[in-house]
A and B are shown apart, each in its own frame.
Chain A
Amino acid sequence: MCVTCGCGPDAVTISGPHGEAHAHEHGHSHGHDHDHGHDHGHGHDHSHDHGHAHAEAHAHGEGHGHSHAHSHADAHGHAHGAHSHTPAEAQPERSHAPGLDARRMVEIERNILAKNDGYADVNRARLGRDGVFALNLLAGPGAGKTTLLVETLKALKDKIPAAVIEGDQQTSNDAERIRAVGAPAVQINTGKGCHLDAHMVGHALDKLPLPAGGVLFIENVGNLVCPAAFDLGEDRRVTLLSVTEGEDKPLKYPDIFEGAHLVLLTKADLVPHLDVDVDTIIANVRRINPTATVLTLSSRTGAGMAAWLSWLEDVRAEKLEALAEEAAARAAALRGAARRAAE
């Protein structure tokens, strides 16, 4: 099972770039329980001297006592119990009865989504090494993500290499629409999962080699809520909102708008048929995200497409320039080091 997705074992499938079906294999190792009987529970400060290295996590509460979790970095990995002197709410019950209760406190202080964020960092580093620019496209179902991608890929064809990762609970319909335009597309089916996570995207990247300067579009599962919490390793987040969805969606579902670098209002050609005011939608987007770029377009008529493509080309060029500068600085440092050695 994927470590971050709650979709159940083997529910996630990832296709090949040309539609070959592959089951998603997760290298997930399950630990076995150890019981070395080294637990100590003390209700007072205590210092150990074991004569070997300790990896210690200390957290001190304001004006209160503190708890120490010691884990020993020796080959046996024995952990010695916490020495807790913690505020009442953190105090294990009966912790003042040493020997009667093996309960102890272990400090963790770890972001719950650290695992996903770790995979996202790996994806981001890999995309940086490859010189690939990646966008995470987020929106509710039916906002026009795939239609926008189809039109975008047609416009980029023969100019900028592009590939697509499609996320949906079921079907490979979207990947097929993308492949029909001539771009490689990997379909991730999340089963019951409500979002893509960085681990799934890492597997999909294995199947989508792109040359330097390429653009990777990651179309997230249609959902205005959950995908917001999961970094995939993208360079920019683009949230789409179709004008048919109503004016107050940004206020009702703030998270998905809050992290967006660009908000695209889609299906603008339908505005004359609707009782919506585009300025009100934009004001509501700004209310949630004062710094996002907001563009209005219609994939069907092509109105507004030029501004979107120009934004895309600018942010892509910006990334490539930054990568080139990093590479030049590294080259200079390496040449400098070589010269120093020769002198």
Chain B
Amino acid sequence: MHEMSICESLRVSMEEAARAQDFSRVTRVRLAIGAFAGVEVEALRFGFDVVMQGSLAEGAELVVLEEAGSAWCFDCNATVPLAARLDPCPCCGGERLVPNGGTGMTIKDLEVV
């Protein structure tokens, strides 16, 4: 349930942005969440609703843009697209892979008032 902590961090980031960019309410939040970011989107949505209560983003719409995963294949010596963590390399079928894309989670933008 570190999704709750992620939502806390998100709330603090929005509060900082509100001070810096002078807005008082957030009506929509767009996040980019990588396929390998270790975040369960449904848990994140639940945490978002709970954590945002009473904050500047209470009732805000949460839009999650899912980012595709990729991995470094030690056998191909190349970055390859990877849909699921335990898939083999789509090029050589090898299994020596380290995710190198779709590992992050970013706040893209906010719709604010």
Interface residues of A (CB under 8 A from B): 1-6, 30-31, 33-36, 38-39, 59, 67, 69, 71, 77-79, 89-90, 92, 102-116, 193-195, 197, 225-226, 228-230, 251, 254-255, 258, 286-291
Q: Are B51 and A6 in contact (CB under 8 A)?
A: yes
Q: A residues within 8 A CB of B28?
A: 92
Shortest distance between the CB of A208 and any CB in chain B (Å): 24
Cα–Cα distance between A108 and B109 once the two chains are bound (Å): 5
Q: Are B18 and A31 in contact (CB under 8 A)?
A: yes
Q: Are B23 and A79 in contact (CB under 8 A)?
A: yes
Q: A residues within 8 A CB of B53?
A: none
Q: A residues within 8 A CB of B39?
A: 229
Shortest distance between the CB of B103 and any CB in chain A (Å): 9
Cα–Cα distance between A228 and B95 once the two chains are bound (Å): 22
Q: Are A111 and B111 in contact (CB under 8 A)?
A: no
Cα–Cα distance between A287 and B85 once the two chains are bound (Å): 10
Shortest distance between the CB of A224 and any CB in chain B (Å): 11
Q: Which 7 A-B pairs have the closest CB atoms?
A: A6-B4, A226-B2, A79-B22, A6-B5, A290-B96, A108-B107, A79-B21
30 A-B residue pairs with CB within 8 Å: A3-B8, A6-B8, A31-B15, A31-B16, A33-B24, A34-B19, A67-B109, A71-B20, A71-B21, A77-B19, A79-B20, A79-B21, A92-B28, A104-B112, A105-B111, A105-B112, A106-B109, A109-B108, A109-B109, A110-B13, A110-B106, A111-B107, A112-B106, A116-B9, A195-B5, A225-B38, A226-B2, A226-B5, A229-B6, A251-B86
Cα–Cα distance between A6 and B18 once the two chains are bound (Å): 21
Cα–Cα distance between A236 and B56 once the two chains are bound (Å): 38
Q: A residues within 8 A CB of B23?
A: 39, 79, 104, 106
Interface of B is mostly: mixed
Specify the chain A residue showing the minimal Cβ separation from B6.
Answer: A112
Specify the chain A residue showing the minimal Cβ separation from B74.
Answer: A290
Interface residues of B (CB under 8 A from A): 1-2, 4-10, 12-13, 15-24, 27-28, 30-31, 38-39, 47, 51, 56, 63, 74, 85-86, 95-99, 104-113
Cα–Cα distance between A103 and B111 once the two chains are bound (Å): 6
Shortest distance between the CB of A57 and any CB in chain B (Å): 9
Q: Are A193 and B110 in contact (CB under 8 A)?
A: no
Q: Are A258 and B9 in contact (CB under 8 A)?
A: no
Q: Are A112 and B110 in contact (CB under 8 A)?
A: no
Q: Are B22 and A77 in contact (CB under 8 A)?
A: yes
Specify the chain B residue showing the minimal Cβ separation from A93.
Answer: B111
Specify the chain B residue showing the minimal Cβ separation from A197.
Answer: B5
Known: A36-B22, A106-B23. A111 touches B106 (CB 8 A): yes
Cα–Cα distance between A31 and B14 once the two chains are bound (Å): 11
Q: Are A104 and B6 in contact (CB under 8 A)?
A: no
Q: Are B13 and A112 in contact (CB under 8 A)?
A: yes
Q: Are A4 and B17 in contact (CB under 8 A)?
A: no
A4, A31, A106, A290: most-surrounded residue (chain B CB, <10 A): A106
